[in-house]
Amino acid sequence: MDLNLNNKVMVVTGGASGIGAAIVGRLAAEGAVPVIIDKNGSAGIKTIEHLQNEGFTAHLVVMELDSAESCQTAVKKILQLTGRIDGLFNNAGTNDSVGLEKGTPEAFLHSLKQNLHHCYFLAQACLPELKRNRGVIINISSKTAVTGQGGTSGYAASKGAQLALTREWAVELRESGIRVNAIVPSEVMTPQYESWLVENFPKPSEKRKNIESKIPLGHRFTTPEEIADMAVFLASERASHITGQHIYVDGGYVHLDRALK
């Protein structure tokens, strides 16, 4: 299926690793020009070099998206590199375990800053280009926004807000032809997830098997590439009448009975 993404410039925050890197790889394979925004320059360079060795065009902007000004600077750099922006994937974020009982007001605000604020600031900075090109916004949320997890108030609040903004922006931007959708992953095996298992459980492999047993479809983790496939489809003309949606790519984890065997 041709997704008609040739030469479309797609901005992916947190695109140096994990789900973001998988999205970048799928975009490149479809002929798009992915632009990674990531604070991890070394990981970003590795991802870009890999794509370039495969014959793809891709760019990297090393930036900590910690303010409206940094987001505006990132967009200016992207336009200097590419001359246009056709899509924004708000993917950057981290489950930082800022809870209600053990968190502090300062930690909570910092969590919102690193997981939510840049989504608004960057979308606003990209908006003139997205309007000009009838572009797309894809928000990568999390199951924590709808199920809760415990001990992660900042992250859950940020991801819940992403889901709300997805529908708010879909309404506000409809006359500009800009489509806005969200993907809600659950258990996705990324380097960040692996680190979480190792850091929090004495027997990480046993905990992993326990989690896998609760995923109805295949009793396995979702792969980053499966999230990426949906994200890239939603960004394409093949999804031309899909907007304001929260799409779960999770093997049935959230909505199916986890007691199923």
Structure tokens at 20: 């973001």
What does the alpha-carbon distance between residue 42 and residue 253 come to, in Å, rounded to a whole number? 34
Structure tokens at 27: 């975009």
Residue among 119, 113, 91, 74 nearest 18 (CA) = 91
Among the options 155, 193, 248, 253, which is catalytic? 155
What strand order describes the sheet that includes 33-38? 59-62, 33-38, 9-13, 87-90, 136-140, 179-185, 246-249
For residues 164 and 116, is the Cβ–Cβ distance under 8 A? no
For residue 10, give every residue at least 6 positions away whose Cβ sits within 8 Å of its Cβ, in sequence order, or none: 27, 32, 33, 34, 35, 86, 87, 88, 89, 235
The sign of the torsion formed by the CA atoms of 78, 238, 252, 160 equals: positive
Active site residue 248: no
Q: Cite the active site residues.
A: 155
